[in-house]
Amino acid sequence: MHDAIPGAQGQATIAGRGVEDWLRSHPLLRELMALRETTWFNPALQPATSALAGCALGEADVDEAARRLQRFAPWVARVFPETAPRQGLIESPLRRLPAMREALRQRHGAPHHGDLWVKLDSHLPISGSIKARGGIHEVLQQAESLALAAGLLRPDDDYARLADAPARELFAAHRIAVASTGNLGLSIGIVGAALGFQVSVHMSADAREWKKRLLRERGVRVVEHAGDYGAAVREGRDEAAADPRCHFVDDENSRQLFLGYAVAARRLRDQLDEAGVRVDAEHPLWVHLPCGVGGAPGGVAFGLKLAFGDAVHCLFAEPTHSPCMLLGVYTGLHDAVSVQDFGIDNRTIADGLAVGRASALVGRTVQHLVDGYCTVDDAELLGLLALLDRSEGLRLEPSALAGFAACTRVPESARAATHLAWATGGGMVPEAEMRAYLDAANQPRPRPARAR
């Protein structure tokens, strides 16, 4: 049933070779094209020190991002009072999930016997998704550089003054544009508008209605596109290029986004310390990250390798309909290939992961430090959504369940390790929308096809 290989629809050849030729040299493509759940461990994985030495970015860059977030903390605390308990640092809780661990064990046999933890970026303040890390960092960096250049701010000032009229007038004369499947637009729109910028968010067809409504309520210009994420990016980029006072947040190629995500890892290290969880050669940590364009999981994985070296292992998880990072790394084509080139439609319930082409920056930066990649069927994401709700009373958006699916794909040798699923979003999903996800999860469905 699942053995039919759809023909490549995008182009006759891909990087100069026909599909049949690609299938001969890269047999896993057959699984991807048939939309079967797949797990691929990276043969080019390197020890952390050499993988990191090959990256253009390093510890000093993450330090700089961490210090910037610290400088802005007084402004954040003033404008977003919900961050006051952490003095304006935008951070999420870490939680152990004994009931979900047991539920997964029953559902999948014995996937692992180490502890299962979740990093609740779904409940990050301000925008309720992992985009509150990278997206907000890039907007703050832009605001800082404008205010410094205008002489309205010195690096040792109290940044809370950026909420006052002179800075707001400066920002009001500048624009920020971004393209998004939803959550990045939400983060950038909310923070950009709070600073006083004029913000345009180019939303792909996948974006949920409530996210557009919320942004419009805050004075953000929302441009709706009929096409997918890649099409929204192209139009957003064109709009910004025409205006020298417009900064385009380029999710396909942004260093500031990447570094904002990377800061998460050192904070996680402190949280694990506090919780008494050891991470070292004898106590490895497996981190399972939902992946769209790759910026968020790539930045976090990069930070994790800096923080934990070879004691940490990262697995990226994508929808079977949008496996752009796996496709890019596996073929070595990175952003020169899209899932559509191989006849894969990029249509998934996991709107946060509905990306057909991976980031140009990320795939190359992290290709030697990510242990593996897997794909997850939409029905499985919904099933896990309901399972997490039943077992732990925790509600996430479908994209955010991909990490839990990855937990069940680890090699035998990793079963006793500590596992951490990165819950990337869902904290702001309206009740009725969540109800619809849970109802859909309870519809009888065929079991997802799994490779091997």
d(CA 125, CA 159): 19
- 3-class secondary structure, 142: helix
292 binds ligand PLP (CB under 6 A): yes
The interface region with ligand PLP, picked from 28-36, 64-72, 287-295, 364-372 by CB under 6 A, is 287-295
| Residue showing tokens 């977003």 | 80
Q: Which stretch binds ligand PLP (CB under 6 A): 67-75, 191-199, 265-273, 295-303?
A: 295-303
Q: What are phi and psi of 199, to 5 degrees?
A: -120, 135
Intra-chain end-to-end CA distance of the chain, in Å: 15
Q: Which stretch binds ligand PLP (CB under 6 A): 208-216, 270-278, 394-402, 412-420?
A: 394-402
Q: Which of 275, 288, 262, 270 is nearest to 422 (CA)?
A: 288
Q: Is the distance from CB of 116 to CB of 407 less than 8 angstroms?
A: yes
Shortest distance, CB of residue 412 to ligand PLP, whole angstroms?
Answer: 28
* Beta carbon nearer to ligand PLP, 353 or 410: 353
Is residue 64 within 8 A of residue 259, CB to CB? The reply is yes
- What residues from 411 to 430 belong to the interface with ligand PLP (CB under 6 A)? 424-425
Work out which of 312, 354, 400, 405 binds ligand PLP, going by CB under 6 A.
400
DSSP summary character for residue 448:
P
Cβ distance to ligand PLP smaller for residue 355 or 369? 355
Beta carbon nearer to ligand PLP, 326 or 400: 400
* 267 alpha carbon, distance to own chain's centre: 17
8 Å CB contact between 387 and 254: no
| Spatial CB neighbours of 267, under 8 Å, sequence gap ≥ 6 | 91
Closest approach of Cβ 400 to ligand PLP, in Å? 5
CB nearer to ligand PLP: pick between 38 and 183: 183
The helix/strand/coil state of 414 is helix
Structure tokens at 305: 């390798």
Which of 62, 291, 369, 406 touches ligand PLP by CB under 6 A?
291
Q: Whose Cβ is closer to ligand PLP: residue 187's or residue 198's?
A: 187
Q: What is the nearest approach in angstroms of ligand PLP to the Cβ of residue 359?
A: 7
Output the smallest distance, CB 114 to ligand PLP, in A.
Answer: 24
Q: In angstroms, rounded to a whole number, what is the distance separating the alpha carbons of residues 73 and 395?
A: 28
Residue type, 266: R
Whether the CB-CB separation of 267 and 66 falls below 8 Å is answered with: no
| Residue 271 in tokens | 């949280």
Binding range to ligand PLP, per CB under 6 A, among 48-56, 136-144, 215-223, 292-300: 292-300
3-class DSSP assignment, residue 304: helix
Q: What kind and span of H or E run contains 222?
A: strand 221-224
Q: What are phi and psi of 121, to 5 degrees?
A: -65, -15
Binding mask 164-183 vs ligand PLP (x if CB under 6 A, - otherwise)? -------------------x
Which part of the chain contacts ligand PLP (CB under 6 A), choosing from 34-42, 54-62, 86-94, 284-292?
Answer: 284-292
Q: Tell me which of 14, 201, 293, 414 binds ligand PLP, using CB under 6 A.
A: 293
- The closest residue (CB) to ligand PLP is 292
Q: Please tell me the count of residues contacting ligand PLP according to CB under 6 A.
A: 20
Q: Could you give the count of Cα atoms lying within 13 Å of 396 in the half-sphere of its Cβ?
A: 34
Using CB under 6 A as the binding rule, the residues of this chain from 120 to 139 that contact ligand PLP are 129-131
Count of residues for the chain?
452
Q: How far is the CB of 350 from ligand PLP (least distance, A)?
A: 8
The rounded distance, in Å, linking the Cα atoms of 256 and 263 is 11
Element holding 31 (H helix, E strand): helix 28-33
- Least spacing, CB of residue 296 vs ligand PLP, in Å: 3
* Residues 333 to 372 in contact with ligand PLP, rule: CB under 6 A: 352-353, 355
Task: Let me know: does 196 contact 176? Beta carbons within 8 Å.
Answer: no
Helix, strand and coil percent figures for the chain, each rounded to 5: 50, 15, 35
When binding is defined by CB under 6 A, the residue of 185, 189, 192, 295 that contacts ligand PLP is 295
Q: Does 448 bind ligand PLP (CB under 6 A)?
A: no
Q: Which of 38, 399, 408, 418 binds ligand PLP (CB under 6 A)?
A: 399
Which residue from 143, 296, 301, 366 is in contact with ligand PLP, where contact means CB under 6 A? 296
Q: How far is the CB of 275 from ligand PLP (least distance, A)?
A: 23
Q: By CB under 6 A, what part of segment 71-130 binds ligand PLP?
A: 129-130
The contact set with ligand PLP (CB under 6 A) reads: 129-131, 183, 290-297, 352-353, 355, 397, 399-400, 424-425
